[in-house]
Amino acid sequence: MAEEYLNTHNASILLSAANQSHYPKDNLPEVALAGRSNVGKSSFINTLLGRKNLARTSSKPGKTQLLNFYNIDDKLRFVDVPGYGYAKVSKKERARWGKMIEEYLVTRENLRMVVSLIDFRHEPSSDDKQMYEFLKYYDISVIVVATKADKVPRGKWNKHESIIKNSIGFDASDAFLIFSSVERIGIDEAWDTILENI
């Protein structure tokens, strides 16, 4: 259980950063969360930390444009990466956003793993596939978290898991986890996998 290692409720937003010069300057391990807007990233963070509203959740996608660093009990940080696949941004804004994410993922020595969130209900988008390919290319360890599992009947879980894995070219050495913030499915597994990898 995560609670034996850290107090998961002792969490707060530390800072928001647009580039390297704003990142925290220490050696704490970081776990980054990536996924398209509205996939359930903020809900995942809130659920793991047992908080209602630490990471903002909204049905209006594309709001967060900075990297948000959350301090968890001074032992670990979550880094919320702004959601991709948001159509209503300009080319220029998209390019800035891409650079910001790439800079963090490629250069950050504190980074231990990326939680890649993908909607369990649908086929992965081309952005989902590109993100996973990118992470594999840079040899970053990944947990694929399939979100909103409460919206998929249990009898279809295996089928949906296969579709996602085939579609992204899932690497069997990564972890795959079925998750729901609403029904609180997969929380302990998520913590166990994260703590094994930092």
Ligand X SMILES: Nc1nc2c(ncn2[C@@H]2O[C@H](COP(=O)(O)OP(=O)(O)O)[C@@H](O)[C@H]2O)c(=O)[nH]1
Which residues sit at the interface with ligand X, rule CB under 6 A? 35, 37-43, 57-59, 61, 83, 147-148, 150-151, 180-182
Residue 37 binds what, of ligand X, Mg ion, none (CB under 5 to 8 Å, by partner type)?
A: ligand X
Q: How far is the CB of 176 from ligand X (least distance, A)?
A: 16
Residue nearest to Mg ion (CB): 42
Q: Is residue 62 left, alpha or beta, with left meaning phi > 0 and alpha meaning psi from -120 to 50? A: left
Torsion from C-alpha of 185, 62, 84, 189, nearest 10 degrees: -20
- Based on the shown chain and the rule CB under 5 A, indicate whether residue 147 belongs to the binding site for Mg ion: no
Our CB check for Mg ion shows the closer of 146 and 170 to be: 146
Q: Which residues from 22-81 bind Mg ion, rule CB under 5 A? A: 41-42
Q: How far is the CB of 115 from Mg ion (least distance, A)?
A: 13
Our CB check for Mg ion shows the closer of 36 and 112 to be: 36
Residue 39 binds what, of Mg ion, ligand X, none (CB under 5 to 8 Å, by partner type)?
A: ligand X
Our CB check for ligand X shows the closer of 63 and 107 to be: 63
Residue 8 binds what, of ligand X, Mg ion, none (CB under 5 to 8 Å, by partner type)?
A: none
Considering CB under 5 A, how many residues would be counted as binding Mg ion?
2
Our CB check for ligand X shows the closer of 55 and 168 to be: 55
Residues that bind Mg ion (CB under 5 A): 41-42
